[in-house]
A and B are shown apart, each in its own frame.
Chain A
Amino acid sequence: MQSDEELIAEIRRGSRSAMEVLIRRYYKLVFGIIYRKTGDYHVACDLTQEVFIKVAKSVSSYKGEGKFKSWLTSVTYHHCADHFRSATHARKKNEIEIRPEIADESMNVYRLLERNDERRAIRNALMELPDYQRDTIVLSYFEGMKIREIAEIMQCTESTVKSRLYQGLGKLRKLVKGGDGYDKERHNS
């Protein structure tokens, strides 16, 4: 399997197939970050495409300092930040993103609804957090990035990242517990 740096070198020489390989390799990473950050499936699809277009255009600016994955995460993060800063952006806080699932004998309707409730609770709780806390949680908890890497991407100190992570997870815990309690009460009634 070719390394990221080998693929980058080929892309710089104009190889479109290398670009395809790179997109397939990192599509889930980029989509996952954007999806959890925005809470919107369709916005995540659009922004993911925009991120990879940006990568294709500016691949020459990747200097090879640090891992490509970190650089890509940084591009993704900053692109999302630009999206949220745009005047036309409107958040749909109460919508739930559910993909139509193929019927599976092991899942009944009630289980699907239960899963949706749990996902909705966590999604809504994440959306309640300030952007900087949500971003830190997405990168640290869900994407498994180290605090040092997150500090480089967000251009802040490690202690700031730790503070955001601690406060964000603390708030998230309270919001989810409160929402979870509400949902359980609704199911039991």
Chain B
Amino acid sequence: MTKRDTTREWELLFKAQGDEFDIDEFTKLLDEYTVEFPPEHVIQSTIENCIVHVPQYASESSKLKRMFHTLSLQVEYVSKWFWLFSLLLFVSGYVATVFDSISPYKTVLVLSPMPFILGVLEILRSTDSGMAEMELASKMSLPQIMMARFVLIGSYNVVLNAIISFGLYWTFWIDLWKVLLFWVVPFTWISSIMLFLASRFRGRRLVPIAVSVWGALVIGILSNPKTLPYLLSLNDTLFVLFGVVGFALLWMQSIQLRNRAERGIFVEIAD
């Protein structure tokens, strides 16, 4: 039952401590603790109960169907207030830009990471009874649920940013490429920072704190009248570089999130 090389490992421990005792007698005693394995019919029953859970993937198209089904399921479980509030935020931003003569670049900069900041708690919502039921009903594991929500909320953020960018472009005939770069960089960086913070710090206070900090930061930066012209004068290559780095950080954080979920380490969001 014991392997000689690992028996030597714990023997060496005792020897290193100067602890002398009859190892053969001790091992002979421990080896009495045999395992009475179940009979064949129990093992067969286990097999029958397990093999039904082997995923059946017929083809690539059914994989895609399954993915869409997974995502559509998550839409229902993410809070409706998140979808609505994020949309209202962007609509308000567009209206304010049109009627209050706010710079469209400022608008996209400020709004770009907001849905993700608001939605990060939805991604990490704990394994309360609702989550466990969903896991049983949809046969999805916790990591799959979390990654599906991450994709959903991230994609929603991207879609809202894209829509407001095109809307402002058609309204003001501004540089579309510049507008896109203006939201990609803060979106990727702030999203990866939020994932990092949310997976390590508990509590619902994280979101209002993050919103306040982001708001204070952009107000502080943009209150200087020279800041925006300076940012607009920067080379596009720099934006692209920052965007790529931001995307890499976001990718790394999402992988870490999935790995932590797979190991059973996830944040219990406390009130």
Contact = CB atoms under 8 A, between A and B. Distances in A.
Contacts of B32: 115, 118-119, 122
A119 B34 contact: yes
Interface in B1-51: 1-3, 5-7, 9-10, 13-14, 17, 19, 21, 26, 29-30, 32-38, 42-43, 45-47, 49-51
A97 to B, nearest CB: 7
Nearest to A21: B47
Given A19-B54, A57-B53, A146-B6, A173 B35 contact: no
Contacts of B263: 78, 155
A144 B2 contact: yes
Given A57-B139, A57-B141, A58-B141, A35 B54 contact: no
B29 A180 contact: yes
A28 B29 CA distance: 21
Given A28-B37, A126-B33, A144 B46 contact: no
A71 B262 CA distance: 12
Given A56-B53, A82-B264, A36 B43 contact: no
A24 B49 contact: no
Interface residues of A, number: 57
A123 B36 CA distance: 13
A97 B33 contact: no
Contact of B262 (A61, A99, A172): A61
A16 to B, nearest CB: 4
B99 interface: no
Interface in B43-67: 43, 45-47, 49-51, 53-58
Interface string A46-57: 001100110111
A16 B51 contact: yes
A31 B43 CA distance: 10
Nearest to B49: A49
B45 to A, nearest CB: 8
B143 interface: yes
B51 A56 contact: yes
A57 B140 CA distance: 8
Contact of B54 (A56, A144, A145): A56
A166 interface: yes
Contact of B13 (A20, A166, A173): A166
Interface string B56-80: 1110000000000000000000000
Contact of A141 (B2, B19, B43): B2
B9 A49 contact: no
B57 A141 contact: no
A31 B139 contact: no
Contacts of A23: 43, 46-47, 50
Q: 9 closest Cβ contacts across the A-B interface?
A: A144-B3, A56-B53, A16-B51, A122-B33, A118-B32, A52-B50, A99-B36, A49-B46, A14-B56
5 contacts: A15-B54, A16-B54, A45-B46, A56-B53, A170-B14
